[in-house]
Structure 1
Protein backbone atom coordinates (compact mmCIF):
# COMPACT_ATOMS: atom_id res chain seq x y z
CA UNK A 1 0.00 0.00 0.00
CA UNK A 2 1.83 3.07 -1.26
CA UNK A 3 1.50 6.68 -0.12
CA UNK A 4 0.28 8.79 -3.03
CA UNK A 5 -0.26 12.25 -1.56
CA UNK A 6 -0.07 14.27 1.66
CA UNK A 7 -2.52 17.11 2.20
CA UNK A 8 -2.33 19.91 4.80
CA UNK A 9 -4.89 22.36 6.14
CA UNK A 10 -4.09 24.77 8.96
CA UNK A 11 -6.97 25.86 11.16
CA UNK A 12 -7.34 28.39 13.96
CA UNK A 13 -10.25 27.48 16.22
CA UNK A 14 -11.20 29.99 18.93
CA UNK A 15 -10.95 28.97 22.56
CA UNK A 16 -13.99 29.05 24.82
CA UNK A 17 -14.89 32.63 25.82
CA UNK A 18 -13.43 32.69 29.35
CA UNK A 19 -10.21 31.02 28.24
CA UNK A 20 -9.94 33.28 25.21
CA UNK A 21 -10.46 36.36 27.39
CA UNK A 22 -7.73 35.53 29.89
CA UNK A 23 -5.17 33.69 27.77
CA UNK A 24 -4.83 35.92 24.71
CA UNK A 25 -3.64 32.81 22.89
CA UNK A 26 -3.94 32.15 19.18
CA UNK A 27 -2.99 28.54 18.65
CA UNK A 28 -3.35 27.20 15.10
CA UNK A 29 -3.02 23.50 14.33
CA UNK A 30 -2.42 21.71 11.03
CA UNK A 31 -4.48 18.69 10.02
CA UNK A 32 -2.65 16.20 7.81
CA UNK A 33 -4.27 13.71 5.41
CA UNK A 34 -2.04 10.86 4.19
CA UNK A 35 -3.57 9.28 1.07
CA UNK A 36 -2.77 5.81 -0.30
CA UNK A 37 -3.22 3.95 -3.56
CA UNK A 38 -5.79 1.68 -1.92
CA UNK A 39 -8.14 4.55 -1.23
CA UNK A 40 -7.42 4.61 2.51
CA UNK A 41 -6.59 7.95 4.11
CA UNK A 42 -5.03 8.43 7.54
CA UNK A 43 -5.26 11.50 9.76
CA UNK A 44 -2.45 13.25 11.61
CA UNK A 45 -2.03 16.62 13.29
CA UNK A 46 0.88 19.02 13.73
CA UNK A 47 1.47 21.88 16.13
CA UNK A 48 1.43 25.01 13.96
CA UNK A 49 2.65 27.42 16.66
CA UNK A 50 6.25 26.33 17.18
CA UNK A 51 6.85 25.19 13.59
CA UNK A 52 4.89 25.15 10.35
CA UNK A 53 4.91 21.63 8.92
CA UNK A 54 3.85 22.95 5.52
CA UNK A 55 7.25 24.63 5.18
CA UNK A 56 8.75 21.12 5.25
CA UNK A 57 6.34 19.71 2.67
CA UNK A 58 9.04 18.99 0.07
CA UNK A 59 11.25 17.07 2.52
CA UNK A 60 8.24 15.20 3.87
CA UNK A 61 7.13 14.25 0.36
CA UNK A 62 10.61 12.93 -0.39
CA UNK A 63 10.51 10.76 2.73
CA UNK A 64 7.02 9.35 2.29
CA UNK A 65 5.50 9.74 -1.19
CA UNK A 66 5.72 6.53 -3.23
CA UNK A 67 6.80 4.48 -0.19
CA UNK A 68 4.94 1.49 1.18
CA UNK A 69 3.19 2.30 4.45
CA UNK A 70 4.11 -1.13 5.82
CA UNK A 71 7.83 -0.42 5.44
CA UNK A 72 7.77 2.17 8.24
CA UNK A 73 8.19 1.42 11.93
CA UNK A 74 5.02 3.16 13.09
CA UNK A 75 6.01 3.36 16.76
CA UNK A 76 9.20 5.29 16.01
CA UNK A 77 7.70 7.85 13.64
CA UNK A 78 6.94 11.37 14.84
CA UNK A 79 3.48 11.67 16.32
CA UNK A 80 1.97 13.45 13.30
CA UNK A 81 2.70 10.66 10.84
CA UNK A 82 2.45 7.76 13.25
CA UNK A 83 -1.13 8.88 13.96
CA UNK A 84 -1.85 8.77 10.23
CA UNK A 85 -0.10 5.40 9.79
CA UNK A 86 -1.90 3.71 12.69
CA UNK A 87 -5.13 5.13 11.27
CA UNK A 88 -4.37 3.71 7.81
CA UNK A 89 -3.25 0.34 9.15
CA UNK A 90 -6.27 0.01 11.42
CA UNK A 91 -8.62 0.74 8.53
CA UNK A 92 -6.77 -1.74 6.28
CA UNK A 93 -6.93 -4.49 8.90
CA UNK A 94 -10.38 -3.64 10.23
CA UNK A 95 -9.22 -3.00 13.81
CA UNK A 96 -9.03 0.10 16.07
CA UNK A 97 -5.63 1.76 16.31
CA UNK A 98 -5.04 0.71 19.91
CA UNK A 99 -4.97 -2.97 18.90
CA UNK A 100 -1.85 -2.24 16.85
CA UNK A 101 -0.12 -0.56 19.80
CA UNK A 102 -0.71 -2.94 22.70
CA UNK A 103 -3.26 -4.63 24.93
CA UNK A 104 -6.03 -2.25 25.90
CA UNK A 105 -6.40 -1.55 29.63
CA UNK A 106 -9.29 0.92 29.46
CA UNK A 107 -11.97 1.81 26.92
CA UNK A 108 -12.46 5.30 28.35
CA UNK A 109 -9.61 7.84 28.64
CA UNK A 110 -10.15 10.77 30.98
CA UNK A 111 -9.09 14.29 30.02
CA UNK A 112 -8.28 17.11 32.42
CA UNK A 113 -10.02 20.43 32.07
CA UNK A 114 -7.64 23.41 31.74
CA UNK A 115 -7.49 27.14 32.21
CA UNK A 116 -4.81 29.84 32.01
CA UNK A 117 -4.05 32.18 34.92
CA UNK A 118 -7.38 33.83 35.72
CA UNK A 119 -8.94 35.67 38.67
CA UNK A 120 -10.14 33.23 41.35
CA UNK A 121 -13.84 33.91 40.66
CA UNK A 122 -13.42 33.27 36.93
CA UNK A 123 -11.47 30.08 37.58
CA UNK A 124 -14.14 28.80 39.95
CA UNK A 125 -16.80 29.47 37.33
CA UNK A 126 -14.79 27.44 34.78
CA UNK A 127 -14.36 24.65 37.34
CA UNK A 128 -18.11 24.57 37.88
CA UNK A 129 -18.64 24.39 34.12
CA UNK A 130 -16.11 21.53 33.90
CA UNK A 131 -17.74 19.62 36.75
CA UNK A 132 -21.15 19.97 35.14
CA UNK A 133 -19.69 18.46 31.95
CA UNK A 134 -18.38 15.47 33.88
CA UNK A 135 -14.71 16.39 34.23
CA UNK A 136 -13.28 15.49 37.63
CA UNK A 137 -9.87 17.27 37.38
CA UNK A 138 -9.15 20.89 36.46
CA UNK A 139 -5.56 21.79 35.59
CA UNK A 140 -4.76 25.33 36.69
CA UNK A 141 -1.89 27.48 35.47
CA UNK A 142 -1.59 28.62 39.05
CA UNK A 143 -0.03 31.75 40.50
CA UNK A 144 1.20 32.01 44.10
CA UNK A 145 -0.71 35.22 44.82
CA UNK A 146 -4.12 33.68 44.07
CA UNK A 147 -3.96 29.87 44.18
CA UNK A 148 -5.19 29.39 47.75
CA UNK A 149 -8.21 31.67 47.26
CA UNK A 150 -8.85 29.98 43.92
CA UNK A 151 -8.82 26.53 45.53
CA UNK A 152 -11.23 27.74 48.24
CA UNK A 153 -13.70 29.12 45.69
CA UNK A 154 -13.49 26.01 43.53
CA UNK A 155 -14.26 23.89 46.58
CA UNK A 156 -17.31 26.04 47.29
CA UNK A 157 -18.51 25.83 43.68
CA UNK A 158 -17.79 22.16 42.95
CA UNK A 159 -17.70 20.32 46.25
CA UNK A 160 -15.01 18.25 47.96
CA UNK A 161 -14.63 15.56 45.27
CA UNK A 162 -13.61 17.83 42.39
CA UNK A 163 -9.81 17.81 42.04
CA UNK A 164 -7.29 20.51 41.12
CA UNK A 165 -4.08 19.88 39.23
CA UNK A 166 -1.93 22.79 40.38
CA UNK A 167 0.67 23.66 37.72
CA UNK A 168 2.43 27.00 38.20
CA UNK A 169 5.29 26.18 35.80
CA UNK A 170 7.70 26.76 38.73
CA UNK A 171 6.23 30.23 39.46
CA UNK A 172 6.05 29.38 43.17
CA UNK A 173 9.82 29.77 43.03
CA UNK A 174 11.76 28.47 45.99
CA UNK A 175 11.42 25.52 48.36
CA UNK A 176 10.16 27.62 51.29
CA UNK A 177 7.30 29.07 49.23
CA UNK A 178 6.49 25.68 47.76
CA UNK A 179 6.17 24.13 51.23
CA UNK A 180 4.11 27.04 52.57
CA UNK A 181 1.61 26.92 49.72
CA UNK A 182 1.37 23.14 49.88
CA UNK A 183 0.42 23.46 53.55
CA UNK A 184 -2.17 26.14 52.76
CA UNK A 185 -3.62 24.00 49.95
CA UNK A 186 -3.80 20.89 52.14
CA UNK A 187 -7.50 21.37 53.05
CA UNK A 188 -8.48 21.29 49.38
CA UNK A 189 -8.63 18.39 46.97
CA UNK A 190 -5.31 18.78 45.17
CA UNK A 191 -4.82 15.93 42.73
CA UNK A 192 -1.17 16.79 42.15
CA UNK A 193 1.33 19.62 42.63
CA UNK A 194 3.04 19.80 39.20
CA UNK A 195 6.37 21.64 38.78
CA UNK A 196 5.59 24.02 41.64
CA UNK A 197 9.17 25.21 42.23
CA UNK A 198 12.45 25.51 40.36
CA UNK A 199 14.12 22.19 39.62
CA UNK A 200 17.81 23.00 39.12
CA UNK A 201 18.36 21.13 42.37
CA UNK A 202 16.12 18.07 42.60
CA UNK A 203 16.82 17.83 46.33
CA UNK A 204 14.28 20.65 46.66
CA UNK A 205 11.64 18.28 45.30
CA UNK A 206 12.56 15.41 47.59
CA UNK A 207 12.52 17.85 50.52
CA UNK A 208 9.14 19.21 49.40
CA UNK A 209 7.71 15.68 49.40
CA UNK A 210 8.86 15.20 52.99
CA UNK A 211 6.89 18.27 54.10
CA UNK A 212 3.55 17.68 52.39
CA UNK A 213 1.00 14.97 51.73
CA UNK A 214 0.07 16.64 48.44
CA UNK A 215 1.40 14.43 45.59
CA UNK A 216 4.29 16.10 43.76
CA UNK A 217 4.78 15.72 39.99
CA UNK A 218 7.27 16.77 37.35
CA UNK A 219 6.68 17.35 33.63
CA UNK A 220 9.62 15.53 32.07
CA UNK A 221 10.36 13.64 28.88
CA UNK A 222 12.68 10.74 28.14
CA UNK A 223 13.64 7.73 30.20
CA UNK A 224 16.90 9.20 31.48
CA UNK A 225 15.23 12.30 32.92
CA UNK A 226 12.40 10.24 34.40
CA UNK A 227 14.89 7.86 35.99
CA UNK A 228 16.88 10.79 37.41
CA UNK A 229 13.76 12.19 39.10
CA UNK A 230 12.80 8.79 40.49
CA UNK A 231 16.28 8.18 41.86
CA UNK A 232 16.21 11.61 43.52
CA UNK A 233 12.89 10.75 45.27
CA UNK A 234 11.53 13.87 43.58
CA UNK A 235 8.16 12.66 42.32
CA UNK A 236 4.91 10.91 43.15
CA UNK A 237 3.68 11.15 39.55
CA UNK A 238 5.04 11.98 36.08
CA UNK A 239 3.65 14.04 33.20
CA UNK A 240 5.44 13.04 30.00
CA UNK A 241 5.26 13.21 26.22
CA UNK A 242 6.68 11.72 23.04
CA UNK A 243 5.76 9.23 20.34
CA UNK A 244 4.42 5.69 20.85
CA UNK A 245 7.83 4.14 21.37
CA UNK A 246 9.07 6.88 23.70
CA UNK A 247 5.97 7.07 25.86
CA UNK A 248 5.76 3.31 26.30
CA UNK A 249 9.41 3.18 27.40
CA UNK A 250 8.96 6.14 29.77
CA UNK A 251 5.80 4.60 31.22
CA UNK A 252 7.62 1.31 31.83
CA UNK A 253 10.36 3.06 33.81
CA UNK A 254 7.75 4.83 35.94
CA UNK A 255 5.73 1.63 36.38
CA UNK A 256 8.81 -0.18 37.71
CA UNK A 257 8.89 2.44 40.49
CA UNK A 258 5.11 2.15 41.04
CA UNK A 259 4.60 5.71 39.81
CA UNK A 260 1.48 6.71 37.83
CA UNK A 261 1.76 8.91 34.75
CA UNK A 262 -0.30 11.09 32.48
CA UNK A 263 0.69 12.54 29.12
CA UNK A 264 0.66 15.85 27.30
CA UNK A 265 1.65 15.16 23.71
CA UNK A 266 0.07 18.18 22.08
CA UNK A 267 -2.31 19.86 24.54
CA UNK A 268 -4.01 22.44 22.28
CA UNK A 269 -4.90 20.19 19.36
CA UNK A 270 -8.25 19.19 17.91
CA UNK A 271 -9.89 15.77 17.80
CA UNK A 272 -7.19 14.08 15.71
CA UNK A 273 -4.21 14.06 18.06
CA UNK A 274 -6.47 13.77 21.11
CA UNK A 275 -8.10 10.61 19.77
CA UNK A 276 -4.77 9.13 18.72
CA UNK A 277 -3.26 9.79 22.15
CA UNK A 278 -6.33 8.24 23.78
CA UNK A 279 -5.76 5.07 21.71
CA UNK A 280 -2.11 5.07 22.80
CA UNK A 281 -2.58 5.61 26.53
CA UNK A 282 -5.44 3.12 26.70
CA UNK A 283 -2.69 0.50 26.29
CA UNK A 284 -0.49 1.81 29.12
CA UNK A 285 -1.28 0.24 32.51
CA UNK A 286 0.00 3.06 34.72
CA UNK A 287 -1.38 5.97 32.66
CA UNK A 288 -4.19 6.30 35.16
CA UNK A 289 -4.40 10.08 35.50
CA UNK A 290 -6.45 12.35 33.19
CA UNK A 291 -4.36 13.40 30.21
CA UNK A 292 -3.61 16.97 29.14
CA UNK A 293 -5.10 16.83 25.64
CA UNK A 294 -7.57 19.69 25.36
CA UNK A 295 -9.92 19.62 22.36
CA UNK A 296 -12.75 20.55 24.72
CA UNK A 297 -11.47 24.06 25.47
CA UNK A 298 -12.15 25.23 21.91
CA UNK A 299 -15.52 26.10 20.40
CA UNK A 300 -15.25 23.15 17.97
CA UNK A 301 -13.20 19.95 17.99
CA UNK A 302 -13.77 19.34 14.23
CA UNK A 303 -14.95 15.76 14.86
CA UNK A 304 -18.60 16.31 13.94
CA UNK A 305 -19.42 14.06 16.90
CA UNK A 306 -17.22 11.15 15.77
CA UNK A 307 -14.95 11.70 18.77
CA UNK A 308 -17.16 10.59 21.64
CA UNK A 309 -16.21 12.91 24.50
CA UNK A 310 -18.64 12.16 27.33
CA UNK A 311 -18.34 12.93 31.05
CA UNK A 312 -14.85 14.29 30.62
CA UNK A 313 -13.48 11.24 28.82
CA UNK A 314 -12.93 10.00 25.27
CA UNK A 315 -14.92 6.81 24.81
CA UNK A 316 -12.96 4.66 22.37
CA UNK A 317 -14.97 2.72 19.82
CA UNK A 318 -14.20 -0.45 17.89
CA UNK A 319 -14.22 1.44 14.58
CA UNK A 320 -11.15 0.73 12.43
CA UNK A 321 -8.20 3.10 12.78
CA UNK A 322 -8.88 6.26 14.75
CA UNK A 323 -12.61 6.04 14.03
CA UNK A 324 -12.80 9.72 13.10
CA UNK A 325 -14.91 11.38 10.41
CA UNK A 326 -14.01 15.06 10.30
CA UNK A 327 -16.61 17.78 9.86
CA UNK A 328 -15.16 19.28 6.69
CA UNK A 329 -17.51 22.25 6.83
CA UNK A 330 -15.99 23.12 10.21
CA UNK A 331 -12.46 22.55 8.90
CA UNK A 332 -13.11 25.04 6.11
CA UNK A 333 -14.81 27.49 8.47
CA UNK A 334 -11.69 27.75 10.64
CA UNK A 335 -9.11 27.23 7.91
CA UNK A 336 -6.40 29.90 7.64
CA UNK A 337 -4.02 28.12 5.27
Structure 2
Protein backbone atom coordinates (compact mmCIF):
# COMPACT_ATOMS: atom_id res chain seq x y z
CA UNK A 1 0.00 0.00 0.00
CA UNK A 2 1.39 3.38 -1.07
CA UNK A 3 0.17 6.94 -0.62
CA UNK A 4 -0.67 8.35 -4.05
CA UNK A 5 -2.37 11.68 -3.35
CA UNK A 6 -3.17 13.97 -0.43
CA UNK A 7 -6.04 16.45 -0.51
CA UNK A 8 -5.75 19.44 1.80
CA UNK A 9 -9.02 21.15 2.74
CA UNK A 10 -9.21 24.31 4.84
CA UNK A 11 -12.65 24.59 6.41
CA UNK A 12 -14.30 27.45 8.28
CA UNK A 13 -16.96 26.54 10.82
CA UNK A 14 -19.49 28.87 12.40
CA UNK A 15 -19.72 28.99 16.17
CA UNK A 16 -23.00 28.13 17.81
CA UNK A 17 -25.03 31.22 18.64
CA UNK A 18 -24.54 31.10 22.41
CA UNK A 19 -20.73 31.03 21.98
CA UNK A 20 -20.29 33.22 18.91
CA UNK A 21 -19.75 36.56 20.66
CA UNK A 22 -16.99 35.50 23.03
CA UNK A 23 -15.17 33.12 20.68
CA UNK A 24 -15.14 35.57 17.77
CA UNK A 25 -13.73 38.25 20.07
CA UNK A 26 -11.18 35.92 21.66
CA UNK A 27 -10.04 33.81 18.69
CA UNK A 28 -11.71 35.10 15.57
CA UNK A 29 -13.17 32.69 12.98
CA UNK A 30 -12.52 28.98 13.52
CA UNK A 31 -10.38 27.39 10.81
CA UNK A 32 -9.37 23.73 10.64
CA UNK A 33 -7.51 21.65 8.07
CA UNK A 34 -8.76 18.23 6.94
CA UNK A 35 -6.48 15.83 5.08
CA UNK A 36 -7.83 13.13 2.77
CA UNK A 37 -5.05 10.67 1.93
CA UNK A 38 -5.51 8.37 -1.08
CA UNK A 39 -3.65 5.10 -1.65
CA UNK A 40 -3.08 2.70 -4.52
CA UNK A 41 -5.37 0.16 -2.81
CA UNK A 42 -8.36 2.50 -2.79
CA UNK A 43 -8.30 3.07 0.96
CA UNK A 44 -8.61 6.65 2.19
CA UNK A 45 -7.25 8.01 5.45
CA UNK A 46 -8.54 11.09 7.26
CA UNK A 47 -6.58 13.49 9.45
CA UNK A 48 -7.26 16.89 10.96
CA UNK A 49 -5.23 19.72 12.48
CA UNK A 50 -5.23 23.42 13.18
CA UNK A 51 -3.17 24.60 10.23
CA UNK A 52 -1.97 23.29 6.89
CA UNK A 53 1.50 21.81 6.61
CA UNK A 54 3.92 23.32 4.07
CA UNK A 55 3.79 21.61 0.67
CA UNK A 56 7.25 20.12 1.16
CA UNK A 57 6.03 18.33 4.30
CA UNK A 58 2.97 16.96 2.49
CA UNK A 59 5.21 15.68 -0.31
CA UNK A 60 7.24 13.63 2.18
CA UNK A 61 4.27 11.27 2.55
CA UNK A 62 3.67 10.69 -1.17
CA UNK A 63 4.89 7.27 -2.30
CA UNK A 64 5.35 5.94 1.23
CA UNK A 65 3.63 3.11 3.07
CA UNK A 66 1.47 4.40 5.96
CA UNK A 67 3.28 1.96 8.26
CA UNK A 68 6.46 3.93 7.57
CA UNK A 69 4.93 6.58 9.83
CA UNK A 70 4.50 4.63 13.05
CA UNK A 71 5.32 7.13 15.79
CA UNK A 72 5.20 9.98 13.27
CA UNK A 73 7.06 13.05 14.55
CA UNK A 74 6.55 15.22 11.47
CA UNK A 75 2.86 16.13 11.35
CA UNK A 76 -0.01 15.57 13.78
CA UNK A 77 -2.73 15.84 11.12
CA UNK A 78 -1.02 13.72 8.48
CA UNK A 79 0.21 11.28 11.10
CA UNK A 80 -3.39 10.79 12.20
CA UNK A 81 -4.35 10.02 8.59
CA UNK A 82 -1.53 7.47 8.40
CA UNK A 83 -2.82 5.69 11.49
CA UNK A 84 -6.33 5.77 10.05
CA UNK A 85 -4.97 3.93 7.01
CA UNK A 86 -3.01 1.45 9.14
CA UNK A 87 -6.13 0.48 11.05
CA UNK A 88 -8.27 0.23 7.93
CA UNK A 89 -5.69 -1.88 6.10
CA UNK A 90 -5.69 -4.58 8.78
CA UNK A 91 -9.36 -4.22 9.69
CA UNK A 92 -9.00 -3.15 13.32
CA UNK A 93 -9.59 0.04 15.33
CA UNK A 94 -6.43 2.13 15.60
CA UNK A 95 -6.19 1.66 19.36
CA UNK A 96 -5.38 -2.03 18.78
CA UNK A 97 -2.12 -0.91 17.19
CA UNK A 98 -1.07 0.60 20.53
CA UNK A 99 -2.06 -2.04 23.07
CA UNK A 100 -4.92 -3.17 25.28
CA UNK A 101 -8.10 -1.13 25.62
CA UNK A 102 -8.33 0.61 28.98
CA UNK A 103 -11.83 2.08 28.70
CA UNK A 104 -14.90 1.84 26.49
CA UNK A 105 -15.90 5.49 26.90
CA UNK A 106 -14.44 8.82 27.99
CA UNK A 107 -16.15 11.73 29.74
CA UNK A 108 -16.55 14.89 27.65
CA UNK A 109 -16.49 18.39 29.08
CA UNK A 110 -17.58 21.74 27.65
CA UNK A 111 -15.43 24.76 26.88
CA UNK A 112 -15.53 28.51 26.39
CA UNK A 113 -13.37 31.60 26.91
CA UNK A 114 -13.45 34.50 29.34
CA UNK A 115 -16.13 37.12 28.85
CA UNK A 116 -18.38 39.26 31.04
CA UNK A 117 -20.00 37.51 34.04
CA UNK A 118 -23.52 37.56 32.60
CA UNK A 119 -22.44 35.79 29.40
CA UNK A 120 -20.42 33.31 31.45
CA UNK A 121 -23.53 32.43 33.44
CA UNK A 122 -25.60 32.09 30.28
CA UNK A 123 -23.01 29.70 28.87
CA UNK A 124 -23.03 27.56 32.02
CA UNK A 125 -26.83 27.38 31.92
CA UNK A 126 -26.78 26.35 28.25
CA UNK A 127 -24.16 23.66 28.72
CA UNK A 128 -25.90 22.32 31.83
CA UNK A 129 -29.16 22.05 29.87
CA UNK A 130 -27.29 19.88 27.35
CA UNK A 131 -26.14 17.47 30.04
CA UNK A 132 -22.59 18.69 30.61
CA UNK A 133 -21.25 18.69 34.16
CA UNK A 134 -17.88 20.43 33.59
CA UNK A 135 -16.91 23.61 31.76
CA UNK A 136 -13.37 24.77 31.08
CA UNK A 137 -12.47 28.33 30.20
CA UNK A 138 -9.38 30.51 29.78
CA UNK A 139 -9.09 33.32 32.30
CA UNK A 140 -8.33 36.85 31.17
CA UNK A 141 -6.81 39.81 33.05
CA UNK A 142 -9.61 41.93 31.56
CA UNK A 143 -12.34 40.11 33.51
CA UNK A 144 -12.69 39.56 37.25
CA UNK A 145 -12.72 35.80 37.85
CA UNK A 146 -14.41 36.15 41.24
CA UNK A 147 -17.30 38.10 39.71
CA UNK A 148 -17.53 35.50 36.93
CA UNK A 149 -17.59 32.64 39.43
CA UNK A 150 -20.26 34.23 41.59
CA UNK A 151 -22.49 34.80 38.56
CA UNK A 152 -21.94 31.28 37.21
CA UNK A 153 -22.70 29.73 40.57
CA UNK A 154 -26.16 31.31 40.60
CA UNK A 155 -27.23 29.20 37.60
CA UNK A 156 -25.04 26.09 37.87
CA UNK A 157 -26.90 22.94 38.98
CA UNK A 158 -25.59 20.87 41.86
CA UNK A 159 -22.45 18.98 40.83
CA UNK A 160 -21.53 21.28 37.93
CA UNK A 161 -17.82 22.20 38.06
CA UNK A 162 -15.55 24.81 36.50
CA UNK A 163 -12.11 23.97 35.10
CA UNK A 164 -10.11 27.21 35.37
CA UNK A 165 -7.32 27.51 32.80
CA UNK A 166 -4.97 30.26 33.96
CA UNK A 167 -2.76 29.83 30.85
CA UNK A 168 0.45 30.50 32.80
CA UNK A 169 -0.43 34.17 33.14
CA UNK A 170 -4.08 34.69 32.30
CA UNK A 171 -4.52 36.75 35.43
CA UNK A 172 -2.47 39.30 37.37
CA UNK A 173 -3.70 38.03 40.73
CA UNK A 174 -1.42 36.51 43.35
CA UNK A 175 -1.93 32.86 42.50
CA UNK A 176 -1.95 31.16 45.95
CA UNK A 177 -4.43 33.71 47.31
CA UNK A 178 -6.58 33.53 44.18
CA UNK A 179 -6.82 29.73 44.22
CA UNK A 180 -7.69 29.80 47.91
CA UNK A 181 -10.55 32.23 47.24
CA UNK A 182 -11.87 30.28 44.25
CA UNK A 183 -11.69 26.95 46.08
CA UNK A 184 -14.42 28.13 48.46
CA UNK A 185 -17.04 28.21 45.70
CA UNK A 186 -19.01 24.99 45.18
CA UNK A 187 -18.56 25.11 41.40
CA UNK A 188 -14.75 25.34 41.54
CA UNK A 189 -13.33 22.10 40.14
CA UNK A 190 -9.63 22.36 39.24
CA UNK A 191 -6.88 24.76 38.15
CA UNK A 192 -4.86 24.36 34.96
CA UNK A 193 -1.44 25.96 34.40
CA UNK A 194 -1.61 28.49 37.25
CA UNK A 195 2.16 29.08 37.03
CA UNK A 196 4.78 29.18 34.25
CA UNK A 197 5.56 25.65 33.10
CA UNK A 198 9.21 25.80 34.11
CA UNK A 199 8.39 26.71 37.73
CA UNK A 200 8.29 23.12 38.98
CA UNK A 201 9.26 24.11 42.52
CA UNK A 202 6.37 26.56 42.56
CA UNK A 203 3.96 23.85 41.41
CA UNK A 204 5.15 21.48 44.14
CA UNK A 205 4.48 24.12 46.78
CA UNK A 206 1.19 25.23 45.24
CA UNK A 207 -0.13 21.66 45.12
CA UNK A 208 0.52 21.35 48.85
CA UNK A 209 -1.35 24.58 49.55
CA UNK A 210 -4.51 24.12 47.49
CA UNK A 211 -7.39 21.74 48.18
CA UNK A 212 -8.44 21.28 44.55
CA UNK A 213 -6.58 19.40 41.79
CA UNK A 214 -3.78 21.12 39.88
CA UNK A 215 -3.62 20.36 36.15
CA UNK A 216 -0.30 20.71 34.32
CA UNK A 217 -0.57 21.11 30.55
CA UNK A 218 2.54 22.96 29.38
CA UNK A 219 5.81 21.63 30.73
CA UNK A 220 9.34 21.98 29.31
CA UNK A 221 10.42 18.33 29.62
CA UNK A 222 7.33 16.57 28.28
CA UNK A 223 5.93 15.22 31.55
CA UNK A 224 9.03 13.16 32.38
CA UNK A 225 11.19 14.68 35.10
CA UNK A 226 8.29 16.91 36.14
CA UNK A 227 6.06 13.95 36.98
CA UNK A 228 8.67 12.54 39.34
CA UNK A 229 8.50 15.76 41.36
CA UNK A 230 4.69 15.39 41.65
CA UNK A 231 3.87 19.02 40.87
CA UNK A 232 0.30 18.29 39.76
CA UNK A 233 -2.63 15.93 40.13
CA UNK A 234 -3.44 15.72 36.41
CA UNK A 235 -1.19 15.89 33.33
CA UNK A 236 -2.61 16.97 29.98
CA UNK A 237 -0.72 15.75 26.93
CA UNK A 238 -1.69 17.58 23.78
CA UNK A 239 -0.60 19.87 20.96
CA UNK A 240 2.16 17.37 20.20
CA UNK A 241 2.97 15.10 17.30
CA UNK A 242 2.20 11.40 17.69
CA UNK A 243 5.80 10.28 18.23
TM-superposed CA distance for 1:123, in Å, is 1.0
Task: Tell whether the 8 Å contact from 2:43 to 2:88 is kept in structure 1 after alignment.
Answer: yes
State the match for 2:69 in structure 1.
73
Distance of aligned partners of 1:233 and 1:65 in 2 relative to their CA distance in 1, 3 Å threshold: closer
Distance of aligned partners of 1:228 and 1:134 in 2 relative to their CA distance in 1, 3 Å threshold: same
The TM-score normalised by the length of structure 2 is: 0.86
- Following superposition of structure 1 onto structure 2, how do residues 209-288 of structure 1 map, counting pairs within 5 Å? 209-220=207-218, 224-241=221-238, 242-245=240-243
TM-superposed CA distance for 1:97, in Å, is 1.7
TM-superposed CA distance for 1:243, in Å, is 3.3
TM-superposed CA distance for 1:232, in Å, is 4.2
State the match for 1:136 in structure 2.
133
Q: In structure 2, what is the Cα distance between the partners aligned to 1:221 and 1:12?
A: 31
Q: In structure 1, what is the Cα distance between the partners aligned to 2:208 and 2:5?
A: 55
State the match for 1:6 in structure 2.
6
Q: Where in structure 2 are there 5+ consecutive unaligned residues?
A: none
1:165 to 156, 163, 166: 163
3-state secondary structure, aligned to 1:106: coil
Q: In structure 2, what is the Cα distance between the partners aligned to 1:67 and 1:198?
A: 40
TM-superposed CA distance for 1:199, in Å, is 4.8
Aligned-residue Cα RMSD (Å) equals 2.2
- Following superposition of structure 1 onto structure 2, how do residues 201-212 of structure 1 map, counting pairs within 5 Å? 201-212=199-210
- The superposition leaves residues 257-288 of structure 1 with CA deviations (integer Å, 9 ceiling, x where unpaired) of xxxxxxxxxxxxxxxxxxxxxxxxxxxxxxxx
1:37 to 34, 37, 40: 40
TM-superposed CA distance for 1:139, in Å, is 0.5
The TM-score normalised by the length of structure 1 is: 0.63
Q: In structure 2, what is the Cα distance between the partners aligned to 1:185 and 1:219?
A: 20
TM-superposed CA distance for 1:194, in Å, is 0.8
Task: Tell whether the 8 Å contact from 2:66 to 2:83 is kept in structure 1 after alignment.
Answer: no
Task: Tell whether the 8 Å contact from 2:156 to 2:187 is kept in structure 1 after alignment.
Answer: no
TM-superposed CA distance for 1:115, in Å, is 0.9
Task: Tell whether the 8 Å contact from 2:69 to 2:82 is kept in structure 1 after alignment.
Answer: no
- Following superposition of structure 1 onto structure 2, how do residues 306-321 of structure 1 map, counting pairs within 5 Å? none
Q: Which has the higher contact order (CA 8 A, sep 6+)?
A: 1
Task: Tell whether the 8 Å contact from 1:193 to 1:216 is kept in structure 2 after alignment.
Answer: yes
Distance of aligned partners of 1:182 and 1:85 in 2 relative to their CA distance in 1, 3 Å threshold: same
State the match for 2:101 in structure 1.
104
Moved more, 110-119 or 135-144: 135-144
State the match for 1:278 in structure 2.
none
Task: Tell whether the 8 Å contact from 1:171 to 1:197 is kept in structure 2 after alignment.
Answer: no
Q: In structure 2, what is the Cα distance between the partners aligned to 1:156 and 1:137?
A: 15
Q: In structure 2, what is the Cα distance between the partners aligned to 1:44 and 1:154?
A: 36
Distance of aligned partners of 1:33 and 1:65 in 2 relative to their CA distance in 1, 3 Å threshold: same
The question of 1:82 aligning with 2:85 is answered no
Q: In structure 2, what is the Cα distance between the partners aligned to 1:221 and 1:184?
A: 26
Distance of aligned partners of 1:182 and 1:83 in 2 relative to their CA distance in 1, 3 Å threshold: same
TM-superposed CA distance for 1:132, in Å, is 2.0
Distance of aligned partners of 1:120 and 1:58 in 2 relative to their CA distance in 1, 3 Å threshold: same
TM-superposed CA distance for 1:230, in Å, is 3.1
Task: Tell whether the 8 Å contact from 1:127 to 1:158 is kept in structure 2 after alignment.
Answer: yes
Task: Tell whether the 8 Å contact from 1:163 to 1:191 is kept in structure 2 after alignment.
Answer: yes
Q: In structure 2, what is the Cα distance between the partners aligned to 1:167 and 1:232?
A: 21
Q: In structure 2, what is the Cα distance between the partners aligned to 1:59 and 1:151?
A: 45
- Aligned pair count reads 235
Q: In structure 1, what is the Cα distance between the partners aligned to 2:65 and 2:194?
A: 46
Question: Which of the pair is proportionally richer in helix?
Answer: 1
